[in-house]
Amino acid sequence: MIANKKLFFKGFLLLAAFLVVLFAMFMPLFNEGNALNYMDNLYNSISKGSAYYIPGLQEENKAYRNTPVQATLALAGKRQAEETALLFEKSGATVTQTDTGIAVNGDLGAILANCLADSDIMFHNQGAQLREKYGYGERQALFNWWTALNKMDMALKKQEMFKEAKFAGDVNQRAVECAYNFYEITPQKITDKIGIVIFSLVFYVIYTLWFGFSIMFMFEGWGMRLEH
């Protein structure tokens, strides 16, 4: 039995309205698709706009010019070894293929400079340049850089080149990963979309409370109450 019909139907109407709005949010009302797609793309573009670390890393990399490095990198197979070898050869390094990967002998600064240049190309959504440079897919090229720098990080630590290993890790996280994850996303500044951002945050809070109060009113209308 419903103890308080007025309160119960108040909650029911709130819940019904909540579901109508939820249904509308899944409708393709925007060029990007539905409202959730639109907001996801918006926040991705704003995130990309604040994640451009490459110029700073390029400046830091000057300190590693003429730093000789030798490392053997174990890779997934012959194909990845061949593809990754091209990355280091374009960096001016000498590369020898082994049974499990490649052996690299070169200048750490030059290797990381090439990696940063490739990451910058991808960050600016110009992947065709990498396809032309290496002869295979731009995403795969950046994935190979990510794999190679992870392996190089471990190799440098074994040689007690901890400072160099840390910087290689920074390049991987702040340049390669950002460029790969944000590829084909157009960057925007939060100030350009500040109205939509504020609206979305306020709407999120109100919409959450909306659902909570609708359930609370329905249960109280049923006669269920939380008591201390």
Greater confidence, 140 or 31?
A: 140
The pLDDT value given to residue 111: 97
Angstrom distance (rounded) from CA 151 to CA 130: 22
Angstrom distance (rounded) from CA 190 to CA 194: 6
Average pLDDT for 79-97: 94
Per-residue pLDDT at 198 exceeds 60? yes
The pLDDT value given to residue 189: 84
Per-residue pLDDT at 120 exceeds 90? yes
Q: How confident is the model at residue 95 (pLDDT cuts 50, 70, 90)?
A: very high
* Residue 82 dihedral angles phi and psi, to the nearest 5°: -65, -45
Average pLDDT for 108-120: 97
Residues 205-228 as b/e (b if ≥16 CB within 10 A, e otherwise) read: eeeeeeeeebebbbebbeeeeeee
Per-residue pLDDT at 70 exceeds 80? yes
The pLDDT value given to residue 225: 66
Q: What is the reported pTM? A: 0.79
The pLDDT value given to residue 92: 94
Q: Tens digit of pLDDT for each residue in 23-53?
A: 988 888 777 678 888 888 888 888 898 889 9
**CA-to-CA separations, 71 to 27, 93, 97, 127, 157, in angstroms, rounded:** 53, 11, 12, 28, 11
Query: So where are the chain's domains?
Result: 5-48+190-222, 53-181
Q: Tens digit of pLDDT for each residue in 167-178?
A: 999 999 999 999
CB 6 within 8 A of CB 217: no
Q: How confident is the model at residue 227 (pLDDT cuts 50, 70, 90)?
A: low
Greater confidence, 123 or 221?
A: 123
In the chain, what percentage of residues exceed pLDDT 90?
68
Residue 54: both structure tokens together:
């490459």
